[in-house]
Structure 1
Amino acid sequence: MTAEGDTGDAGILPDTGRAIGFSDAVFAIVITLLVLDLRVPETAPGGMLRALLDQWPVYLAYVTSYLYVAVNWLNHKGTFHRVRCADRGLHWANLGVLFSVALLPFVTALVSRAVEEGDVFDERVAVSAYALVGVILSITWLWLYHYLSRHRELLEPHVPARFFEAERVRALLGVLAYAIAGLVGVLLSVPAALVVLLLLPLFYGLSSNGFYDLRRRLRHRR
C-alpha cells in the first residue's frame, strides 16, 4: 500500500478535492441543460394556457430527469464523503459515472418530444433509450462501488468493511429495474414505463446515504 503523502506507482493521492469539484461542475451543467428543453410556446393571443398545458410531457420528463440527476449527485456526495484518497482506477470509474449522467439531457429531450407528438413507435424508442441510459448509469455505479469494495486503502477508516459491497446490490437493482422499465415501455405500456422511471429516483433518493445504512436504520426501528 502506498503511503498517504506519496503518489507511487498506483497514483494514489490524499486529496480528492479535484475529482469532487470536477464532478460537481458536470452535475451543474447537466441540470442546466435539462431546463433548456422548457421552452416558451408559440401561440396566438389567448392561447397561452392551453399551449402550456399541452407541454405536460416536457414537464414530466424534466422533473423525472431532475430528480435522477439530484439523486446521482447525492449518491456521489455520499460516496466521496467516505473516500480518503484516490487513484487512477477510481478516477476512471468516476469518469464513467459522469459520462452516463451527461447523457440524460439528450434522452430527456427524446422522451418529451416523442410523447408530445404522440407517435406510439417514437414513444417506445424514446422510453427504451432513456431506460438504456439508466442501465448504463447503474452499471457505472456498480463499477465504482465494486472498485471501492476491493480497494479499502482508499477509504476513510470509519467506513464499514461491507459498506460498498452492499452498495453493489443497490446498483445491480438499478440495472434490473431500468431494464424492466425499458421492456415495459416497448412491450406493454409507455405510461407505465414512465411511472417506473419516475419512481426509481425516489427509491435511490431514500437510500442515497447507502443501502448498508438504510438497512441498518430499518433494523433499529424494529
Structure 2
Amino acid sequence: MNPPKMSSAGIGKGRVEALADGIFAIAMTLLILDVKVPALLPDQIDQLPNRLLQLWPKMASFVISFLICGVYWVGHHALLHYVRRSDRTFMWLNIAFFLVISAIPFSAALIGEYPQQPTAIRVYCGNLILAGVVLFGQLRYAAGRGQLYDQDIDARFITSAGRRILMGPAVYLVASLLASVSPITSLILCGAAPVLYLLPGQVDQYWKNGHRTTIQEDSLVK
C-alpha cells in the first residue's frame, strides 16, 4: 500500500473534514438521549401530560444545543472551505475543537437537569465559549502563521469571519456573568445566540459573490 501523499506545501484536509462530520453527527445525536420517555405504570397514564411538561428544560436544552452545534458545524465547514492544505498544528487545533464539541452533550444534560443553577449555566456557557475561541484560533492560525488559505483571499473576509465567530462567545460570556443574578436571562441569551448566526452577514455576501470578490466597505459594519 502506498503511503499518503505529502508535499512540501503541506498535507490534505480531507481526513479533518471527515472526522469533523463524524464528531458533530455523534455529538448532535447524543443530545436527544438525555430526553427520556416518562416511565409510567398503567394506573398513572393520566399523568403523562404533566410528566411531558416536566421535560421542557431538557427539551429546550436539546433544541438550543442542537442549533448551537449546527452553528459551529457551519462555521467549521466555512473555515475549511478556503483552506487549501493542512499541517500538524492545524490538525491538533482541530482535535482541540472536537474535544470541546464532544463535551457539549454533557454540559447540555447538566443545564437540562439543573436549569436554575448558576454553576450548571456557567459550565454550559464555558463549554460553548471554548468552542468559539478554539474555532477562532483555527481561523487566525490558518490565515496567519499557518498560511493555509488561498493567497487571493480578501483579508477583510478574515476579519469579518473572526468577528462573526466571536459573537457567540461574547453572548455566552454575558450569560455566564448573569447566571447568579438571573438564571432565566442567561438561558434566554443562550437560546438567542444561535439566532444571530441565522441572519445573513458580509460573510454570506463573500460566498455569494465568489471568493475573489472583495467585501464592500460598508458591509463590514453589519
TM-score normalised per structure 1: 0.83
Q: 2:192 aligns with which of 189, 199, 204?
A: 199
Distance in 1 (CA, whole Å) between partners of 2:176 and 2:206 is: 29
Which moves more between the two structures, 105-114 or 41-50?
41-50
Which residue pairs with 1:142 in the alignment?
136
Matched, 1:105 2:105: yes
Give unpaired runs (5+ residues) of structure 2: 208-214
Which residue pairs with 2:182 in the alignment?
189
Q: Aligned runs of 1:60-209 on 2, under 5 Å?
A: 60-115=60-115, 120=116, 123-151=117-145, 153-157=147-151, 159-186=153-180, 188-206=181-199
Distance in 1 (CA, whole Å) between partners of 2:216 and 2:36 is: 44
Relative to structure 1, is the Cα distance of residues 106 and 182 closer, same or farther in structure 2, using a 3 angstrom cutoff? same
Partner-residue secondary structure (3-state), 1:73: helix
Q: 2:35 aligns with which of 38, 42, 46?
A: 38
Distance in 1 (CA, whole Å) between partners of 2:183 and 2:21 is: 32
Matched, 1:21 2:14: no
Which residue pairs with 1:12 in the alignment?
10
> 1:112 is matched by which residue type in structure 2?
G
Over aligned residues, Cα RMSD in angstroms? Answer: 2.7
Distance in 2 (CA, whole Å) between partners of 1:181 and 1:191 is: 10
Encode CA deviations 1:15-37: one digit per residue, 9 max, x unaligned.
Answer: 21111001100000101110101
Relative to structure 1, is the Cα distance of residues 64 and 129 closer, same or farther in structure 2, using a 3 angstrom cutoff? same
Which moves more between the two structures, 162-171 or 53-62?
162-171
Relative to structure 1, is the Cα distance of residues 190 and 82 closer, same or farther in structure 2, using a 3 angstrom cutoff? same
Relative to structure 1, is the Cα distance of residues 209 and 134 closer, same or farther in structure 2, using a 3 angstrom cutoff? farther
Distance in 2 (CA, whole Å) between partners of 1:91 and 1:128 is: 28
Relative to structure 1, is the Cα distance of residues 73 and 181 closer, same or farther in structure 2, using a 3 angstrom cutoff? same
Matched-pair contact (CA < 8 Å) for 2:141–2:147: no
Encode CA deviations 1:167-215: one digit per residue, 9 max, x unaligned.
Answer: 22233333332111101112x2111100100111111333588388497
Give unpaired runs (5+ residues) of structure 1: none
Matched-pair contact (CA < 8 Å) for 1:58–1:112: yes
Distance in 2 (CA, whole Å) between partners of 1:61 and 1:150 is: 36
Which moves more between the two structures, 199-208 or 210-219?
210-219
> 1:196 is matched by which residue type in structure 2?
L
Q: CA deviation at 1:217?
A: 10
Encode CA deviations 1:120-162: one digit per residue, 9 max, x unaligned.
Answer: 5xx1111111111122112101211110220474223553233
Q: CA deviation at 1:163?
A: 2.0
Distance in 2 (CA, whole Å) between partners of 1:213 and 1:195 is: 31
Matched-pair contact (CA < 8 Å) for 1:83–1:156: yes
> 2:170 is matched by which residue type in structure 1?
L
